[in-house]
Structure 1
Amino acid sequence: MIGAVQILAIGYKQAELPKEIGRQINLLRSSDAVRLLDVYAIHKARDRTITEQAIEAISDWDGNLIRKILTSAGAHRAFSSYTTDASGFLVQGTPIPDPTVSVPAGTNLVILLIEHLWAGPLQDAMRNGSAFPLAGGWAGRDVLQKAGLVMNDTAD
């Protein structure tokens, strides 16, 4: 059983992926909580053409799985569709802006496909207990700080 799978798109304007971002992506490989399934990078030129891009800081990834998702479903569908029937899923899919439309020209984009391993047992428990997700999302740093959560400003 596969856990909840997240598509995370990170944009950047400089020619090379910022070193700290590459380091953090590579650290995901040793995580017990998540599994990095694939990494794919593109560049959207000023003339709006999109080309695949190799990222030296993140080796041993060919982007094949993400490429198949984008080409089999089409970028718009892969990034903007979501499940309306959440049975059997821990996290409902939510729309992600289509990179062919929403990524500014002159921008690079790295797309991560991340399986949340911690979610598998909870997902099974929900299915076996006839439970279902009602909502999900990411809470921003500002909101959490305003609620009183003390944030560590340095990456470990």
Structure 2
Amino acid sequence: MVAGLYGAGALIAPPERVDRPYFDDTAAQLGVIREQFRQLEEYLAEVELPPSAGGKLAELMELYGALLEPGWVADVLATEPDAVHALSRGIRLDVPECVNTYNRTRWWNRLTPGGESPERHLERQLSVLYDEAERVTADLREAEARRQQTHTTYLEDRGRS
């Protein structure tokens, strides 16, 4: 009987609570991304790129830098995890991969010319990344516009009460 009561108590007792894992908050992630951005800038300063791609890369890096600049823009960025992810992926993976594959492919093209030029691929890749960064910026601007509209509606509703 005691064993039965013990078994019944074990079945109806709540399970042991396991603490959820701790993940860095988005603001802390932005600090890491800023440091990675600085490393990327140092790397890009050492790499030889064609002038046609250099302009698009400069525009892309300027946009990334503006989004990461400490202040209210970064605060808005920190509220959008998808935007932070897109920015992080661009800085940590996409831009370095574009530049590295360009340099490797350019070397191979010197040995066996032909096919589509590595410069053209690099320009296309950087254009796609720039377009993505512009979409992130537009989404952040739209989120701020929605916040403003919501606050206006709140104030108008409050004034009617």
Interval of TM-score (by shorter of Structure 1 and Structure 2)? under 0.3
With normalisation by structure 1, the TM-score equals 0.27
With normalisation by structure 2, the TM-score equals 0.27
Q: Which protein has the bigger helix share?
A: 2
Structure with the larger RCO, 1 or 2 (CA within 8 Å, 6+ apart): 1
Q: Which protein has the bigger strand share?
A: 1
